[in-house]
Amino acid sequence: MKVGILALQGDITPHRRAVERLGHHPELVRYPQQLDIIDALIMPGGESTTIQKLLDRWEMVEPIRRRAGEGMPIWGTCAGAILLARSIRGSDQPTLGLMDTQVERNAYGRQVDSFEAEVTVEGMEGSMRAVFIRAPIITHVGPSVRVLATHEGAIVAAAEGHLLATTFHPELADDDRLLQTFLDSPEGLWTGKAAAS
């Protein structure tokens, strides 16, 4: 599988290392034409407004939407989860609008309020260490979205078919189980009855 990592801004290197640990050679995606040579795309954390502006500048919004429509698996972590969402609570910031979710940016506060916690992800044995850095939360999901993990009542991971959103950073905890599941399930993640919002 040719795994692409959106490499416009953000924590690109930890994702690259995680993909390499699983035996894949990642493609660092900076141009629209690269989207046609990859089988899956990871959108890393960073500054969502900056990444969105760079996507617009490099004319990558519609190509990403097209590949998503073709069934390409896409995983957004933190800022990537914001970009995947249908809307942002209290903001008119544009997004890719690929997942039927609403998110709230910086839900836990500023950079100094970043923290780590143990979360349980549906379908995974045991808990995993989740790193939250200026993290969003998912405030609403549509009927086709499956909630995979919560923290203190807030949704922090969800899937909709071949799309995955996590508001935390598994790549910073050196826990590759979620990435492995993402790469092993190109036809759709955690299929079955979707969770209610």
Cα–Cα distance for residue pair 161/140, rounded to 1 Å:
17
CB 24 within 8 A of CB 184: no
Contacts made by residues 47-53, CB under 8 angstroms, sequence distance 24+: 47/9, 47/10, 47/79, 48/79, 48/82, 48/83, 48/93, 48/105, 49/93, 50/9, 51/6, 51/8, 51/9, 51/10, 51/79, 51/80, 51/83, 52/83, 52/93, 52/94, 52/95
171 is catalytic: yes
- Supply φ then ψ for residue 13, to 5 degrees: -60, -45
Active-site hit among 15, 151, 162, 169: 169
24 is catalytic: no
62 is catalytic: no
Active-site hit among 78, 104, 151, 160: 78
Q: Please list the active-site residues.
A: 78, 169, 171
